[in-house]
Amino acid sequence: MQNDNAKLKMTPKYIDHIVLITKNVEEVYNFYKHFLGEPDQKDKFQVAWKIGETKLFFGLYTEEKGYKPNDKDCYSLNHLAFGVRSIEELKQFEKILNDAKIPNKGIRLDKYGKKEYVSFDDPDGYRIEFYHRPLE
């Protein structure tokens, strides 16, 4: 008889939250508000937006908050991709970036996923993408 636990498969259904450490909360706020709108919360230590089911936090690295060098909360990130469902939506985000004079690489094709995307860097150097993934 097969073990009942072997049949169970746990897979996440969405990203709950992402935390990025920033150098300057005000600069991050002024950058992301162009395409995320006003944040759900903002104070001198952090700014956060809710995107779908996911909460995106940018927290300030400070000794006052108890962060220490080599603390897991001081790690970085390779990139963050926001999903879009159509090429038209991707083009709209590209226009928003261009209108806000945010340097970007324009719409490109992902050589691995074979999907279109626009990439750019935020004020802390994090790579951000708008990634086209149509509903299947």
Residue pLDDT, tens place only, 43-63 = 998 999 999 878 898 988 766
pLDDT at position 87: 95
CATH class held by domain 13-76: alpha beta
Strands (E), the chain: 17-22, 41-42, 46-51, 54-60, 79-84, 107-109, 116-121, 127-132
State which amino acid sits at residue 102.
I
Q: Where in the chain is the domain with CATH 3.10.180.10?
A: 77-136
Task: Tell whether pTM > 0.85.
Answer: no
Fold classification of 77-136 is 2,3-Dihydroxybiphenyl 1,2-Dioxygenase; domain 1 (3.10.180)
State which amino acid sits at residue 5.
N
Residue pLDDT, tens place only, 55-106 = 898 988 766 655 555 455 555 666 888 988 899 999 999 999 999 999 999 9
Q: Where in the chain is the domain with CATH 3.30.720.120?
A: 13-76
Say if CB 52 and CB 15 are below 8 A apart. no
